[in-house]
Structures are given as C-alpha cells and as structure tokens.
Amino acid sequence: MPAASSLAIVLLGATLAATSPEPLLRIQDPALVESSGLAASVWHEGILWTHADGGSVAEVRALDSGGETVATVTLEGIDPYDPEALAPGVDDAGEPALFLGDVGDNDAQRPDVSVFRFAEPRRLSDGTVEATWFRFIYPDGPHDAEALLVHPRTGRVLIATKDAFGGGLYRAPVDPVTANEGSNRLVRIADAPSLVTDGAYLPDGRLALRTYASVFVYDRPGHQVATATLPLQPQGESLAVDGDRFLVGSEGPRSTVYAVPIPVAASQSSSPDSRSGTDPRQDRAGNADGESPDASSLSTVYRVARVVGILLLLAGLVAYFRRTRRR
C-alpha cells in the first residue's frame, strides 16, 4: 500500500474516532433523495427548509422534527439549472427571506449562475411564491459551486466554489441588480478549503464553510479561527446554523440530519460584528467582510488535506504507469 494511502486511512480513522454527532431527524420524503441545501426557519420553531438537487421546477420543502414534509413551496416561473444551496437571509426591507442558489456547474461551462430570493412563508402550506432572480458572473471564468451564504442582517451574498485543490470565496455587490436588468460581477475575496459543499453565516457575523468531513469557522473571510470534524455521511452537502449548533445533512434516500456543536473559536472577540461599537450593517459599505485574501491563515488540517490529496494523486499515477509497463 502506498504511503499516501496509509496516511489517508490514519486521518480517516482519526476523523471517525473524534465524531460524536447527535442525530436530529431522518428525511422521509422520497422526493428528497438528493437533499442538497438546508436552512433553519425563522418563523417556525423546529422547522427546516431543504430542496432537491436538480429538477425542472424550483421547489423548497419544509421538514418537521420527524423528517416529514409539511409544506412544499414552488417558485413561480423558475426552471433551475442545478440548484445546490439554500440560505436564510433578509430582503431589501429587512424581512426574513430564503435564497435558493442555482450555482452548480459540474462541467464549469455556465456563463453565469443564479440566486432566487423569496419571502419565507409565515404559514406552512403548499403554494407558489414569487421570487426575485439575480444573475452572477465570476471574474475568472466558470466554477462549480455548492455553497451559498447570505449575511443575516444585510442580505449580501457570498458564493464558495468547489475545487479538489482549494476553491475561492466570492462576494456579490452590495445592491445587486435583478436578472431583467443584467448580471452582477462577483469579486474573489479569499481562498476556500478543498471540496466545499456548503456554507452558512453565524448570528454574530462569523461564517462557516463545510466539506465532506469538516467544518471551518472564520471571523472574517480568509481568517480561520476554529474547525470541527463532521459525522461520516454518504454525501454530506448541506449546512445550517441553529442557535449554538450546526445542522448537517446529506444526499441519499432517507438521509439523516445531524446536530454538531459550533466549535469555540480561538478568539471570538475578533469577529467583525462582535466588536464594541461596530455597526453590523458596515458590511454593506464593503469593508467589514475584508477585502484581501489571507492565505497564511489556512489551518494545519487544511494544509495536510491538500498535501494528502496531491500524494494520493501521484501514488495513483505511479501505480497506473507501473501496471501499464507490465502489460
């Protein structure tokens, strides 16, 4: 067995040993075999919103504490390309809203990606709602993405791309134009871990990005302050925040949503929104998010993961060429 493979197994074993998740619910709806996004309801205690990956209709479903679907909300007139994320936020009036991120692009060929914003329903019933459509363009060409974050007090959008060797965190304009007015150019503001599958803002303004195995907490883009191991899931792709815990979900039939405590940061006092005298809406001025990447702040775990990935790739190539020469 190559040394890289052995190291990967050791890391996986450490990950499993350190995991003590709390099962929260099991999704019962057969239409949610590919539950891809997750958001805790603002109006309805104990209700989670989720959606399916793909389809010709944009739908968001409400789950109760038993994992049963209690409402299906259809976005009027929307035929999505590849919806991959769901985030809570606010609309222009500051009212609770949900943002459906149609940001998937496995072949990295889409000229733009879309985000649909709609008011979170105050009543749990099936129905159709109007949505505001925003288009976004990356400054450096198409990317695949599965993570959408929306600031809880300003409604400003962030998208984290998904890449095997490290992605990027991109920020939308303060006041994006709607799709009928044109597209909005994103700005890359920080590096992101490898294989980011979702993200979420914490109530205090910090943000989190999850991968298949871990979640990383930042007090500002690019400046990591904490990390936690996530439970082993078939295809862990969703992340939500509910009080002092993360909720993490997965694709797959009857998949389980787990509750994981939010890790304690090395210094939570450095959070932009927790500093005395800081206006939480300063983010709209463009300076509380942090303008420049801080690549030096990537965690040791992240660095090791990247090195292991490269070693595994090289080991695979060496094994392949050895087998080729023997033929």
For residue range 123-169, list pLDDT tens digits in order.
999 999 999 999 999 999 999 999 999 999 999 999 999 999 999 99
The whole-angstrom separation of Cα 35 and Cα 42 is: 20
* pLDDT, tens only, 172-203: 999 999 999 999 999 999 999 999 999 999 99
| Residue in 148, 125, 114 with CA at minimum distance from that of residue 61 | 125
Confidence at 312, pLDDT banded by 50, 70, 90: low
3-state secondary structure of 31: helix
| Residue in 303, 289, 148, 298 with CA at minimum distance from that of residue 219 | 289
Contacting residues for 236 by C-beta, under 8 A, at least 6 apart: 197, 210, 212, 213, 230, 248, 249, 250
- Of 58-72, 225-239, 256-270, 308-322, give the lowest mean pLDDT range: 308-322
The backbone torsions φ and ψ at residue 228, rounded to the nearest 5 degrees and listed phi first, read: -145, 150
Q: Any idea what the Cα angle at residue 166 is, between residues 165 and 168, rounded to 5°?
A: 150
Confidence at 18, pLDDT banded by 50, 70, 90: very low
Residue 6's H or E segment, with its range, is: helix 3-17
The whole-angstrom separation of Cα 319 and Cα 327 is: 13
Q: Per residue in 220-238, is it b (16+ CB within 10 Å) or e — as a string?
A: bbbbbbbbbbbbebebbbb
CB 36 within 8 A of CB 237: yes
Q: How far is CA 306 from CA 166, 216, 299, in A?
A: 8, 15, 11
Structural domains of the chain, ranges and CATH numbers in brackets: 21-294 (2.120.10)
Residue 260's H or E segment, with its range, is: strand 256-261
Q: Per residue in 250-272, is it b (16+ CB within 10 Å) or e — as a string?
A: bbbeebbbbbbebbebeeeeebb
Compare 282 and 148 and report the one with higher pLDDT.
148
Residues of the chain with pLDDT > 90, as a percent, come to 72
Contacting residues for 109 by C-beta, under 8 A, at least 6 apart: 142
Q: What's the count of helices (H) and strands (E) in the chain, helices before strands?
A: 2, 22
* pLDDT, tens only, 74-122: 999 999 999 999 999 999 999 999 999 999 999 999 999 999 999 999 9
The whole-angstrom separation of Cα 193 and Cα 215 is: 10
| Mean pLDDT score across all residues of the chain | 83
pTM to 2 decimals?
0.79
The count of residues in the chain is 327
Q: How far is CA 193 from CA 76, 119, 170, 295, in A?
A: 35, 31, 13, 11
